[in-house]
Amino acid sequence: MAEKVLMKGNEAIAEAAIMAGCRHYFGYPITPQTEVAAYMAKRMPKIEGGVFLQAESEIAAINMVYGVAATGKRVMTSSSSPGISLKSEGISYIAGCDLPALIVNVQRGGPGLGGIQPSQSDYFQATRGSGHGDYHLIVLAPASVQEMASLTFKAFNLADKYRMPTMILADGTMGQMMEPVSLDMGEVETYEKPWALTGTNMEREHNIVNSLSLVPEELEKFNFERFEKYKAIEENEALCEEFMMEDAEICIAAFGIASRVSKNAVIEARKQGIKAGLIRPITLWPFPKKAFAKAADKVKSFISVEMSMGQMIEDVKLATECKKPVTLCNRAGGMIPSPEQVLEAIIEANKGGDK
Amino acid sequence: MNFKRVTLFAGHYGSGKTNIAVNYAVKIKEAGLDVCVADLDIVNPYYRAKDSEDELEKRGIHLISSVYANSNVDLPAIPQQMYSIVHNTDTYAVMDIGGDDRGALALGRYAPSIKEENNYEMFFVINKYRPLTPDAESTVEVMREVEAAGGIKFTAIVNNSNLGEETTAEDVLSSVSYAEEISEMTGLPVKMTTVKATLYNELSGKIENIMPLNLQHIRKYD
């Protein structure tokens, strides 16, 4: 299907998941991601083997995901911020069992019940593992409805490839906005899953999926092995988009909808003679450290533009080893920064000179 | 153009009802008639008629909308003022109904009065570029669901086939046969084809009854 259709971001996630071979969706409604579930409810019953199930709670939904993931089938759930907190116990179990699954977070303002307007304040939660224990999720941050589709498709491939949960970290704006999308997603990658619980037919040794280790030495070994895998992912899977960075002196770091606002500000700053540029992380974990490390040797300063009280800014500082100043330009609680606000931050940073 | 006292816009989720409703109200106002817009959307959390409130008020068009619209309160509420739509028959009303059958449920309580007064038009808004309504059959299926939920039947079709900002004249032209097929299947006339304002000149003369959508209520980020 190369022709374009007009879709909501949430719908694009659902359709791309189906195209990626996901036939199991478990969820619980919450604004602003409910269209993912609504779309699945309409589509899944019409597809062979398709299961849509509205669980009695987020906790039930994530444990259904856990169960299907153990059988090696492609499976997903979606929610918004408070719902992801509820799911995080289950996400930790899925990570502890090394199971592939997709978790979608269409973020809203917090903490607590917060509000229903868009936010990016679950960055820490997403990139630091969300639940208890040492683990990571591969976290992808779409900045268009097209990417809501393409990164969802990619997230299923990555989950299978590395045998681990992946996350789409979107926000309410990305979920609700409508844009044209090409649903030309490419190949579904297939992976052997000898670990999957598919029934032995009395022909093989039974598989065990479990996150409990009775022997501490063994649990330590599993953790070290898992982090060897994470190292390879950090080496191979980090993704970002660089915009006008060739000669940039002020570098903005922004993802998702904040990156689109920032792009506008960069263009405006250039018109005013200020050499601004943008690095947009597409993977939040692994964080695109190399791009920032490279920029740190060239630019005067960094501005982290975020819809939170400043979370990604810590990764920018780490990746640049604090070689250059990093300032924060932010809105919170469901508010979106304006291009004017970002432009002002650029002008301010440009006054700073070479520190 | 002849206007009925009440004009209702309903259809598939994301087909463009709100945008058209707002622009249609402006048209009624420009004809010298007193008109208000009623936001009956109980489905969408954002991108609602509320986004156009200032533009409407500027033109002397009152918007009846839930106090919770565009706020952090996630309630599918309808204000009591909504009853003025059916009781105050001196004023023209444009009703923006939420998407699909779920959205049309909110219409049920007003439907008997609207039918009794019998001075209304109900437009079925269609967009062939929406993935769940790519052909006439699937679109008509949605139409029947909306009618059943809302308790009132459509009187005409509005072809709003578009791909957002990327829409070309060719995209609109190639949707004409889709609209005609739906018209044939349902016996309802295609009342108008709505296009973004920048396509209006290119398409006028090529399609009958084109209406440009001058007011865009979409929030812009880039």
CA separation for the pair B123, B113 (Å, rounded) = 18
What residues of chain A lie within 8 A of the CB of B166, using their CB? Answer: 4, 180
Rounded to 5°, angle at Cα B59 from B30 and B88: 80
Largest Cα span, chain A: 73
Sheet holding A276-281, edge to edge: A240-243, A276-281, A250-253, A301-306, A326-330
Is residue A258 pLDDT above 90, yes or no? yes
Of B72, B127, B130, the CB nearest to A117: B72
Q: Which of A206, A98, A79 is nearest to A161 (CA)?
A: A98
User: Are A252 and A265 in contact, with CB atoms under 8 Å apart?
Assistant: yes
Burial (CB < 10 A; 0-12, 13-18, 19+), residue A285, is buried
Assembly ipTM: 0.92
Tell me what pLDDT residue B221 has. Answer: 66
Query: Helix-strand-coil percent breakdown of chain A, rounded to 5?
Result: 40, 20, 40
Tell me what pLDDT residue A353 has. Answer: 56
Q: Which of A167, A172, A171 is nearest to A284 (CA)?
A: A167
Nearest chain B residue to A145 by CA distance is: B164
CB contact, 8 Å: A41 with chain B?
no
Residues 6 or more apart in contact with residue A221 via CB below 8 angstroms:
none
Q: Which of B217, B128, B125 is nearest to B172 (CA)?
A: B128
CA separation for the pair A7, A231 (Å, rounded) = 36
Whether the bond into A286 is cis, omega within 30 of 0 = yes
CB contact, 8 Å: B47 with chain A?
yes
Tell me what pLDDT residue B42 has. Answer: 84
What residues of chain A lie within 8 A of the CB of B165, using their CB? Answer: 179
Nearest chain A residue to B68 by CA distance is: A116
Q: Which amino acid is at A154?
A: K
Tell me what pLDDT residue A355 has. Answer: 47
- For the domain covering A242-351, report its CATH number: 3.40.50.920
Share of chain B above pLDDT 90, in %: 82
Phi and psi, residue B22, nearest 5°: -60, -45
End-to-end CA distance of chain A: 52
Q: Are A173 and B221 within 8 A, CB to CB?
A: yes
Give residue A1's pLDDT band: very low, low, confident or very high (50, 70, 90): very low
CB contact, 8 Å: A11 with chain B?
yes
Residue with tokens 């036939």: A23
Q: Which of A338, A266, A146, A278 is nearest to B219 (CA)?
A: A338
> Per-residue pLDDT tens for B76-127?
888 899 999 999 999 999 999 999 999 999 999 999 999 999 999 999 999 9
Q: Extract the tokens encoding B42.
A: 């109980």
> Per-residue pLDDT tens for A274-323?
999 999 999 999 999 999 999 999 999 999 999 999 999 999 999 999 99
Interface contacts (A, B; CB < 8 Å): 68
> Per-residue pLDDT tens for A53-71?
999 999 999 999 999 999 9
Q: Are A178 and B162 within 8 A, CB to CB?
A: no
Share of chain A above pLDDT 70, in %: 99
Q: Extract the tokens encoding A199.
A: 């029934």
Residue with tokens 């630091």: A128
Question: Domain spanning A4-236: which superfamily?
Answer: Thiamin diphosphate (ThDP)-binding fold, Pyr/PP domains (3.40.50.970)
CATH class of B6-213: alpha beta
Cα torsion A218, A221, A223, A225: sign = negative
Burial (CB < 10 A; 0-12, 13-18, 19+), residue A337, is buried
Q: Are A32 and B45 within 8 A, CB to CB?
A: yes
Q: Which of B125, B119, B53, B51 is nearest to B88 (CA)?
A: B119
Q: Extract the tokens encoding B195.
A: 């296009």
CA separation for the pair B175, B163 (Å, rounded) = 11
Sheet holding A138-140, edge to edge: A51-54, A24-27, A75-79, A101-107, A165-171, A138-140, A283-285
User: One fold for both A4-236 and A242-351?
Assistant: yes
CB contact, 8 Å: B68 with chain A?
no
Lowest-pLDDT range of A117-126, A141-150, B41-50: B41-50
Is residue B182 pLDDT above 90, yes or no? yes
> Per-residue pLDDT tens for A141-163?
999 999 999 999 999 999 999 99
| In chain B, where the domains are located | 6-213
CA separation for the pair A102, A69 (Å, rounded) = 10
Q: Extract the tokens encoding A235.
A: 């080496």
Q: Are B129 and A173 within 8 A, CB to CB?
A: no
User: Are A262 and A254 in contact, with CB atoms under 8 Å apart?
Assistant: yes
What residues of chain B lie within 8 A of the CB of A6, using their CB? Answer: 14, 127, 129-130, 162-164
Phi and psi, residue B113, nearest 5°: -65, -40
Is residue B69 pLDDT above 90, yes or no? no
CB contact, 8 Å: B14 with chain A?
yes
| In chain A, where the domains are located | 4-236, 242-351
DSSP label at residue B163: B
What residues of chain B lie within 8 A of the CB of A172, using their CB? Answer: 45-46
Q: Are B131 and A15 within 8 A, CB to CB?
A: yes
Nearest chain B residue to A32 by CA distance is: B45
